[in-house]
Structure formats: C-alpha cells, structure tokens
Chains A and B, each alone.
Chain A
C-alpha cells in the first residue's frame, strides 16, 4: 500500500489513475492539475509516490520533478508520458525519476511501476 499524489492536467486522466490505484489497494492522498500545485501538494502531504504527467500548464512535469527533488531528494516520482516523448522521459530519468509509464495507461503497467518503485 502506497500513498500517492496524482499529477495530471486532465481530470479524466487523474480519475483513471485514481481508479487503477484504489482498486489495487493504494491510496490517493492528493491530486494536482499542474506542476506548481504538485509541488505545493507534495510539501503538504509528503506522499510515498508521485505520478507525474510531463506536459502541463504553469509548470511542466520535469520542472516539477526537479522542484520536488530539491525538497526531498528521496522523492519517488513516476513519469507519465505520451508516445514520442522519449527524449523528455530520458531527461526526467536523469533528473531522478524512478520509472515511467506510457499513455494510454494499462492498469498492470501502472501497478508494476508503483510496486517496483516502492519495493
């Protein structure tokens, strides 16, 4: 069981991830719709894991990842990427992301990523 912060600018995507997570026994402690919110919520809730969309308004996922890493160098962030964002994914991993999942989400992939990251 992990406490998760879900970050995505699309409410639909947040709902999907939330569904996948709660059905598999994880708890979504907070949601954020852009990078800036994500950093705020991270400070507030100190989740075990963050699922982080890459393309977002205000502050994108990679910038948010870096901010979060500054607050907590042990933060575990899983990037959510679309096809064709290979370079960004690699940037994110260099910046300290633990894993990534590719949209459209498949439940088992998301769970695999979460489990491997907390395990």
Chain B
C-alpha cells in the first residue's frame, strides 16, 4: 500500500507524541509514584508504535515496543522509577526523535538502536519475575481492570482455568487481521476471551507486530487449546500460561511479591480503570486547531497586500471625488482591512513554547552530564512570535542555555562554599514589550569576570588596551560576542564546540534582533535577546531620492546627519566624511541606483549612517521622509538578485518603495 500520502500527518503526530512523552517523563521524575503520568506516556508510546508499524518503520516500532514493555512494568509497579531507568528511556526517546527527523528529511528512519533495545530488555528482564510456568515470556504483561478482575475471579471459582496465551504469527503473514479473527474464533469456541493486548480494535487494524496476548477462561486443557491454535495456518508459536488470580489485597505492599497475573496493588485500580477506557479521559487542553501549511498563510498575506494597494488607490480616488457616500464606504473598508491585517499577522504567530519545551530535557541531561544541580524555570512560554523567527531562534537559545549551565552555574560544592543554595537556577523568560519580544536567560551562577574578558579580548586583538580603558562594563561583557572570543578555560563538550557566541549574535541580528548581556560577578548573568514580533513587518526610515522613495531598515541605522559640502573629502577617488573621528565612506544612492533627473547636491547632504557589524557607511539621500512600519515583500523570482535591494514594500498610498540592503553597500 502506498503510505506516502500519510507521511506528513505521521511526522506531525509523531512529533506531538514524542513531545508528550518528553514532558511527561520530566514530570514523572518529579513525582515517580504517579501512575496517571505513566499511563499517559504509555498511551503516547503505544500510539507511536502502532503508527510507525503501520507506516513500515520497523526500527521505530521495535524501539517503542520495548519502551512500552518497560513502561508497562512501571505501571504495574514491577519496578520503580529511578534516574537510571529514566536515562535509558530518555535515550530511547532521543533515538525516536532522531528517527522521526530522519524520516521527515526524506530518510528511511533506520537507526541502530540495538544497544538501547537491549538495555530496555535488561530493565524489563532484570526485575521481572518469571511467569509461573517458566515459559520464558513474562506472563504478567496484562494489567487488568476491576471488571476484568472480577470476571476472572468468578470464572476461577466456577472451575474455569485462566490462561494467558501469547500467539505469534509468522513474520510474512498476510492479512493478519483475518488470522487474528481465526484465533479468536477458535478461542471463543473453547471458552471466553476476557482481554487482549493490543486491544481487539488495534488487532483488527493490524496495529501489532507479530505477537498478541489474550487472556481466556476455558475448561479446555492447555495442551488441547495449544493444539487447536497451532492448527491455524501461519500461527508460528503459541505459549499458554495457566494463571491464577491472586487475592487483590495480598499485593498491596509497595514491593509486590511475584504476582502471577500482574494484578497488583489496589492503589492501581484507578489508573487501570483509566487504561481500560482511554477514550473517556479527554486531552487536558483540547484546543480546537487545524494545521495549515505556512505557505498558504504566506499566500494569504500576499493576497492581502494586493488588497492594500487597491485600498490605497480607492482612498486616493475618494479624496479626489469628495463624494460623501464613497468616502464613508472606503473608510469602513479601511478599518476592516486593518483588522484583517492584524488577524493575518496573528495567524502566523506561534507561542515560543514550541522552542522552549525542549529545554527542560536538555537542562536535565546537561546538568547530569556536568554533575551540577540545576533547576530551569520557564516564564512566559505563551508569548507569541512569528513562525519564521521561531524556526531560527532555537539554536541560539540552545547555545546560550548551554553556556549558562557550563560556564555560569557552579558545581554544587563551590556554590555551597559561596553560601548559595546547592541547586542553581536558570530562568528562561519571554515577554512582549512594544513591537518587540524579549527573551531573557538569567542564571544565578558565577557571572562573567570583567578582568578575564578584558585580558582575553586584548590578547586576541579584539580591542586595543587604550580603547579597553574607555569601555563601560556593559561594553566589556559585549566583547564575548566578538568573533574569535571564548572565555572557557577549558573547551568542554557542552559549549565551545568551535561555534562562538558571535554566531549567536549574527543569527539574532539576521532576524532583525539584538542581544545584550549583563552580569554581576558572583551573582549571575543575564542574556537578553530582543526580537521583532514578525519578520514580514519591519521598521524603516523612508528617504527620498529625486522622485523616488526608498526604505532603509531601522535595524541597520546608527543615526542620520546633515553633512556640509565642504566636509566631504576624497580618498582614492572615494568620497568620505568624518563621522565622530572615523573616516566613513559616503555612498551616493542616486548613483548606485541610477535615479533619473537626480538633482545635484545642495549646500548640505542628508546622510544616513548605517552599519554592518563594526563597519560603517554613510548613504547620501535627498531628504528624509520619516519612520514607518512597512510590510516586506520579495521582488519575486525574476528580480531575485538586484544589487543592494532586499525587497519592496507598498506604501499607504499604493506606491512601491524599494527596501535597501545596507549590508551590500557597506564594504
């Protein structure tokens, strides 16, 4: 069957389930006795197993299957939650994630997971009591609900035997559901089926590998039953374990004695009832959402922009005609379309949660690797950002958090010695402010050593000793973002993989954002990232060159100035100006863009000082119009590489203004 059409949905859903597993595992670590959490993880893993088996991703299905066995053991209190056990499960989840990513990228989702699988098996076996018949397979894989339990007990009292039957079909068995049907039919002739794992529904949908487990009450002897089942074609193996239903209260203790049926403590009853009827427990936040391809939203946005152009024209016409009714209608339309614009922009917004939610896992793992104790607090995860920004912001944040853990938070003994609590605190905050979103990472660690930063910066030639003396604390801390800077005494595995903080800075700046750092030695550091709400709307300075209007992104502008004609010098045939003691090249935009009917320079030249990194340039224009928020539109495929133009925008009056790419003009 061609499954490719389901692939997108499969990937999306799998990611959701993995996320659930990750989150719940972390919760489980905090409250190891909560069976409800285990159940939730179990369900997610189970669904994942079914989906991946259906899609034919064997490795994925095998691994989830093993994981499920261990989780089932947790659920039945066969073993308890330990950090070591969680490590193995987390490792399995990592593998699963990698496989899903591989599948999403067009790979085959294959991966060598044998080590993890065998460790999961170890856990499963190491603490699993042998089944009463010694039949090899753990017979207590079934968790019985209260109702099933009573049925079993009654049947036993009436002289029926309780069998747990594990049926394995041949690997190349076709039409598995029909085989299952035959098995069930045979069993129903011999007795009554009380429970099956996976459930009958799943078996009917062929959502199982080769094996399934049924509990049957019957008066037929086990060997006779086995013979009957083996007589069905393509049944490879039948293991029958006779089981007795123990007293329910008997196993109420925490360390249950080998419990033949896995019918364990009474405290489990509630959880099992839940497992019995998973449909009855709806997801906690059942937000009504639909998945929409982001391309569609982009198209919607573009179409809307077309509408804005027409709106501009209409407004112009209505002003010219001065017709009362027309004016009224156009004004109304304008109001509605601006509401519409807000909604469309909002649709592209995604909570930062989608990035943040992987950090608790990461911090836990890192803290364990580094032998530190760290608590991560996440505040404002619901803050929304444009999808495009969200996609890019993950890596820089990972880097900063790693830094905070590796260089910021001290080892527990050092912290104790400094009179700080043993456990370090890393706070991840996100909040709105004006047209920006701020993301802050604060730790209560050692802080940044001003002296060390200065020394290193001077040694690496990033600043001169003279210039260093003039710098404020803030500026000195800012030096750690300079290319080629690394404060780590030792290059550890966690941070300092050759990718410096300068990459963080440049990524954030490419998003139109900024990053700053503040620190107090001994108290901790604060990294603050400022991001624009959305990439498609940017703040620009509109400037006039002859009859044409151009837009310069505010993020690149340092300041504007009027330069007198006599202050323009020339070196190597290149006009330059003296800008606060620096020689800055003057770029005449009318020459660069070949603007027709351009006037000559007057007495003074209006200049916009822009920067790219540390380099500056002055852009000469005719006049400044003002600051405005505009919608960035691409020039389309046939105008993809116009020199120094990054896009265009449609102004309120419907005219087009080209947006200048300052990076291309600064050499």
Mark A residues whose CB is within 8 Å of B.
81, 83, 85-86, 89-90, 93, 99-102, 109, 112-113, 116, 119
Report whether B175 and A83 are in contact in the complex, using a CB–CB cutoff of 8 Å. Answer: yes
Q: Determine if B185 and A113 form an interchain contact, defined as CB atoms under 8 angstroms apart.
A: no
Is B233 on the interface with A (CB-CB < 8 A)? yes
Sample of 9 A–B contacts (CB below 8 Å):
A81-B175, A86-B178, A89-B178, A99-B182, A99-B232, A102-B175, A109-B233, A109-B234, A113-B233
Q: How many residue pairs, one in A and one in B, have C-beta atoms under 8 Å apart?
A: 34
B291 to chain A, nearest CB (A): 29
Q: Give the Cβ gap from B13 to chain A, nearest Cβ, in Å.
A: 24
Let me know if B233 and A93 touch, CB within 8 A: no
How does the 8 Å CB contact mask read for B172-204 relative to A, with 1 for contact and 0 for none? 001101100110010000000000000000000
A99 to B173, CA, bound (A): 13
Output the least CB separation between B543 and chain A (Å): 67
**CB proximity of A28 to chain B, nearest CB, Å:** 20
Say yes or no: A116 contacts B177, CB within 8 Å: no
User: How far apart are A114's CB and chain B's nearest CB, in angstroms?
Assistant: 10
* Number of B residues, CB within 8 Å of A: 11
Identify 19 new A-B residue pairs, CB closer than 8 A, beyond the known A86-B178, A116-B233, A119-B231.
A83-B174, A83-B175, A85-B175, A86-B175, A89-B175, A90-B181, A93-B178, A93-B182, A93-B185, A99-B232, A99-B233, A100-B178, A100-B233, A101-B233, A102-B175, A109-B233, A112-B234, A113-B233, A116-B232
Which residues of B are found within 8 Å of A93, using beta-carbon distances?
A: 178, 181-182, 185
Chain B residues positioned under 8 Å from A83 (CB to CB): 174-175
List the interface of chain B (C-beta within 8 A of A).
174-175, 177-178, 181-182, 185, 231-234
Q: With the chains together, A81 CA to B176 CA distance in Å?
A: 13
A61 to chain B, nearest CB (A): 14
Contact A100 B175 (CB under 8 A): yes
Closest residue on chain A to residue B177 by CB atoms: A86
Asked, given contacts A109-B234, A116-B232, whether A102 binds B177 with beta carbons under 8 Å apart, the answer is: no
Nearest-neighbor residue (CB-CB) of B235 within chain A: A116
Give the residues in chain A near B178, CB-CB below 8 Å. 86, 89-90, 93, 100
Distance in angstroms between the alpha carbons of A48 and B51 in the assembled complex: 43
Q: Which of chain A's residues have a CB closer than 8 A to the CB of B232?
A: 99, 116
Report the nearest A residue to B206, measured CB to CB: A86
User: How far does the alpha carbon of A85 sit from the alpha carbon of B177 in the complex, in Å?
Assistant: 11
CA distance A60 to B231 in the complex (A): 27
> Which residues on the B side are within 8 Å of A119 (C-beta)?
231
Per the bound structure, the CA–CA distance linking A88 and B431 in Å amounts to 60
Docked pose: A112 CA to B233 CA in angstroms:
6
B234 cross-chain contacts in A, Cβ below 8 A: 109, 112
Distance (Å) between the CB of A35 and the closest chain B CB?
20
Write the chain A residue with the least CB distance to B230.
Answer: A116
Q: Which residue in chain B gives the minimum CB-CB distance to A84?
A: B1
For residue B180, which residue of chain A has the nearest CB? A90
Q: Tell me how far the C-beta of A54 lies from the nearest C-beta in chain B, rounded to whole angstroms.
A: 12
Inter-chain CA distance A109–B232, complex, in Å, is 11
User: What is the CA–CA distance of A89 and B232 in the complex, to the nearest angstrom?
Assistant: 14
A95–chain B nearest beta-carbon distance, Å: 12
Return the 9 tightest CB-CB contacts between A and B, nearest first: A102-B174, A89-B178, A113-B233, A116-B231, A90-B181, A86-B175, A112-B233, A99-B233, A86-B177
Q: Which residues of B contact A101 (CB under 8 A)?
A: 233
Q: A86 contacts which chain B residues (CB < 8 A)?
A: 175, 177-178
Quick one: which of B177, B178, B181, B234 has the most chain A CB within 10 A? B178
Q: How far is the CA of A86 from the CA of B177 in the complex (A)?
A: 7
Complex: chain A residue closest to B172, CB-CB: A106
Once bound together, how far apart are the Cα atoms of A119 and B230, in whole Å? 12
Q: Smallest distance from the beta carbon of B469 to chain A beta carbons, Å?
A: 81
- Name the B residues within 8 Å of A112 (CB-CB): 233-234
In the bound complex, residues from chain B placing their C-beta under 8 Å from that of A89 are 175, 178
CA distance A119 to B231 in the complex (A): 8
- In Å, the complex CA distance between A93 and B178 comes to 8
> Smallest Cβ distance from A98 to chain B, in angstroms?
9
Residues of B within 8 A of A113 (CB): 233
Bound CA span A109–B236, Å: 12
Q: Which residue of B lies closest to A116 (CB)?
A: B231
Q: Nearest Cβ in chain A — how far from B184, in angstroms?
A: 10
Instruction: Give complex CA distance A41, B629 in Å.
Output: 86
CB distance from B154 to the nearest CB of A (A): 29
Q: Chain A's nearest CB lies how many Å from the CB of B181?
A: 5
Cα(A109)–Cα(B175), bound, Å: 13
A102–B172 Cα gap in the complex (Å)? 11
Q: Which residues of B contact A99 (CB under 8 A)?
A: 182, 232-233
Bound together, the chains give a CA A113 to CA B182 distance in angstroms of 13
Identity of the chain A residue whose Cβ is nearest the Cβ of B174 in the assembled complex: A102
State how many angstroms separate the Cβ of B563 from the closest Cβ of chain A: 79
A112's closest neighbor in chain B, by CB? B233
